Structure 1
């Protein structure tokens, strides 16, 4: 993780020249840093999936929650730095702060000892009967040859695409219906309040559904959560011009979407073992990249063609 974080400053520096236009830069720069982010996320998953075989869902959710809900804590300070010193200063300052924290934290991480495998096997016996766990560790090549991987991959592309589409287009949707200018409470508009609530719910849903999946099984949890997410998105479409309902519906959509970041890594560990859990989930996580290719651009294109969000 420390090595991955050391690469991040170069990515931050690369962003500085990506685009001199502020808006254009914001659109392009996040992709420059993506490799470093993926390295850190994959290694965090590897550690937690190996240490807690009987609570994979909960532990995956707790760590993933920091990646989701943590954004809510940084919105205000980052926005303040951008307004006073510009986006270059914001990237530089928060990049340095983030780098120091990650490198120091990485020094305290350790892989399970050699004798932990036998202990883990005993722990697995206490796992809920609804959670099926593999008795052997599959290599990435072996995992790729199973149909289960590709079924899960398609699922993650579709579910991830729906959530990413909502993330990218929530602002344009609010602006097209006028709710972005409606002040709801505390001087906040419906759009700003919705974005803040969505980030929090997108974070706390991860340990909640991770814990639920430890009790009732990953597949059952996915069926319930993703099914409700679909209903929530349909509800959101019917209340686009109603500020309060817009906030509640968008929050529900994100609450039942964010758990994919705890359910999928836990299920990868369950199905293909703990030895190669980091690499195996790294391959599965590329589904989010595939989803991001079509989610935002496709939604924008469909809106331009259809002149409305319902088809999208």
Structure 2
């Protein structure tokens, strides 16, 4: 170990991990891309959602299959490779937008940047845990908190780089892209389309009035009928410049490259014997928290029930949480009739509490234990999800419960690496972590699909909230059973240590 590495500050190592994660966490701002991409290029909502799903899929797959690469080459090289893939993905997305080629967008934003997401997500975590043997939950919470906050930062950058050029009113069934193209090729036909639309201010006033009367249960009045006719018959939409979108992807690709490369270069493992001063310190609590019970290889870990318990807990937590993230604004509008200002606060709050939950719950897990943390997640959400269905008359309470759910969603991601190290040690943690993150790939498809199916079948999100509440009952049972699994694995380590005083490996 070089002297330069010995002098590195563990808090700067943590800051470097945050730099990587806050960059790739920009994926959580993807909803800010949807309207510009759809209105400027004519891509459907399904098309733009597919690009996001591809990115999440390749995040999980790359994390699973490249974890071994991180173990062999180190976190720094993994971070540099992540920076390369992620930035090239964004730069390629700019080319796709310039050429207006959807499939090229799938390739670069979905697959290439998705691989960068997976590499960047797992690269710093195991190294950071080694720098914080006394506070493994805090360490992973710091890094993964950055991923949660990345969406807030990127959403602001997108709104700066891609400002709306205009806001117009169109008939409700008129596609914005088609109208804008008609303006260029057949201006007379375009003029006919908007000849009967109300002025923008009139449309907004009547839409607001319809929502207010609906909340006040005055839906049988002529005033409500007139306002609802305008609200349902027309829509307001934003106009974006195609060049701005292309430039935004270019700028973001460059910005994140400048953040990720220095962050990756600074990350390095601690000196040999670094953890000894914590494990052998005078504080018994610190020594206990720093100790790793034993080590397993990835092959050994996947043969244990504990591995599948972690996978299922993450899968259920993410499936239900990501469904709320994907539909929270629409859910709030349809179920609670949130006014525009509160709807904006809901979207901002989702990113904020997603990030806060990561550091809060991960830090708490150092004190109450990882298994108790997950029991708390699921016990809270068994109540919280069905509660949303009953809070349609209270916008503030609806938002507050949604934010609580998002802290549990973020916390589930942040506490899982420390949980892995508790059970299986640090030796092959990147590979094991990558395997477990395939739960994220699956959940990104299953959760929103269930939500959409229930909505199409019943016309409401209330039914899916009960389904998710029931899923958390299963998750709670698994989390309780995991307590027994932890004892079983730890007893195995102790037996191996007794039989062989050299560092034990679980069979």
1:201 to 1:49, Cα distance in 2 relative to 1, 3 A: same
Matches within 5 A, 1:1-312: 1-16=79-94, 17=96, 20=100, 29-30=109-110, 32-83=112-163, 85-116=243-274, 118-119=276-277, 121-122=279-280, 126-127=285-286, 134-177=292-335, 179-180=337-338, 182-183=339-340, 189-240=341-392, 242-312=394-464
CA contact (8 A) 1:154 1:287 kept: yes
CA contact (8 A) 1:57 1:211 kept: yes
Q: Secondary structure of the residue that 2:460 maps to in structure 1?
A: coil
TM (norm. structure 2) is 0.55
Deviations 1:166-187 (A, max 9, x none): 111112213434635x14xxxx
1:290 to 1:133, Cα distance in 2 relative to 1, 3 A: farther
Q: Secondary structure of the residue that 1:86 maps to in structure 2?
A: helix
Deviations 1:192-211 (A, max 9, x none): 10111121111112121112
Gapped regions of structure 1 (runs ≥ 5): 184-188
Work out the CA distance in 2 between the residues paired with 1:90 and 1:259. Answer: 31
Deviations 1:252-273 (A, max 9, x none): 2112221012211110011111
Deviation at 1:11, TM superposition (A): 1.9
Tell which has more relative contact order, 1 or 2 (C-alpha 8 A, sep 6+). 1
Q: Secondary structure of the residue that 2:357 maps to in structure 1?
A: helix
Deviating more after overlay: 248-257 vs 147-156:
248-257
CA contact (8 A) 1:60 1:261 kept: no
Work out the CA distance in 2 between the residues paired with 1:246 and 1:14. Answer: 40
CA contact (8 A) 2:293 2:422 kept: no
Q: CA RMSD in A?
A: 2.7
